[in-house]
Each structure stands twice: as structure tokens, then as C-alpha cells.
Amino acid sequence: MSRPQPPKPAKLLIGLIMQEKRYIAAAADALIEKFGPVDMASSWFPFDYTTYYEPEMGTLLFRRILAFKTLIKQSELAQIKLTTNELEQEYSTGGKRTVNIDPGYMLHERFVLATGKNYSHRIYIGRRIYADLTLIYKDGRFRTLPWTYPDYADERMLAYLQQVRDKYVLDLRST
């Protein structure tokens, strides 16, 4: 018989996609106000893996990931996604987003993103939000899955996420 166990706290990460890097300061400030200080930020990654966002946000997009210092309860992910959706709307111009904000969390064994879109590998977590198992950690590194978004499969992204995971392990030891 399996015995229910309390879930471990998770490391909150929030990805931002935008055309104009000048939006990062305001978006980051709003996220920090909501979720606390950032302890790691990625470099800027060119976001040239898909044209999905181009009709809304234009071309030559960039991605940046922020990792937050305060660990979260895994059960908070749905509300965090709703909050970031509200921020996207605040930064919209003419009905189009200037920044796409994607929250997720990291545990020892996986990296999960939140989405409002259902699919076969996504698990409903409440409030019309789904959890997307994006990466698994196995044999000392993150592994992609058949549905992993190409930007999260990029070696530069995986190297950054490894650094975040190392920091998360230290964070857990100090709690």
C-alpha cells in the first residue's frame, strides 16, 4: 500500500518571451513583487524555435528565465499561472501581448510548466490549468521527452536549468 507523503517544496521558475528586451525590467519587477526575489536569471536566449508567437509578438523574439529564491508549494502552480496571465494582459497593447510569461517549477526529478491548454501528457491541476511534464532528471542530467518544447531542449537552456537545480538542492538543505 502506498502511504501519502507531503510534497516537497518546489523552485519557482518563470520564463518570459518578448521582442523588446526593454520590457524585462517592468515585467521582472511585477513578478518580484508577486513572488519574491530572484536568485538566478538566465542569459537571453534567441527564441527562434517556432513562429507560433510571431503574429502576436513579432519576429526576433528572446527568452529569459527567472528562478525565484522562495520555494513554493507545488499546489500553488495553478494560481501562479492565473496571476502571470493577468500580468500578460496588463502588458498587452492593442489586444496583443508584448510579453509571454510561463511559470513552472523544478523538483529533484522533474521540471513542470503550467498551461491553460489540455493535451494527452498534461495533468489537470485545477482552476482550468494543466501541468506539463517538460523534462525529467535522470542519470545526472535533464532529459527531454517527445513533447518537450524545443527551447527547453536546447543545450544552453539545459545547462542553465542544471545550475538552477544545483541551487535548489542547496535551498532544500537550508530549509
pLDDT at position 159 over 90: yes
Look up residue 168 and give its three cell numbers: 535548489
Q: What's the CATH number of domain 10-173, 3.10.129.10, 3.10.620.30, 3.40.50.300, 3.30.70.260?
A: 3.30.70.260
pLDDT at position 8: 97
pLDDT at position 70: 96
pLDDT at position 101: 98
- Average of per-residue pLDDT across 150-161: 96
What's the pLDDT tens digit per position in 162-174?
999 999 999 999 8
DSSP element (H, E) containing 32: helix 23-35
pLDDT at position 38: 97
pLDDT at position 7 over 90: yes
pLDDT at position 112: 98
pLDDT at position 63: 95
The CA distance from 142 to 88, in Å, is 29
pLDDT at position 158: 98
- Average of per-residue pLDDT across 35-45: 95
Torsion angles phi and psi, residue 121, rounded to 5? -95, 5
What's the pLDDT tens digit per position in 53-95?
999 999 999 999 999 999 999 999 999 999 999 999 999 999 9
pLDDT at position 54: 94
Percent of the chain with pLDDT over 90: 96
pLDDT at position 175 over 90: no
pLDDT at position 113 over 90: yes
> Contact 99/91 with Cβ under 8 angstroms?
yes
The burial class, CB within 10 Å (0-12 / 13-18 / 19+), for 35 is buried
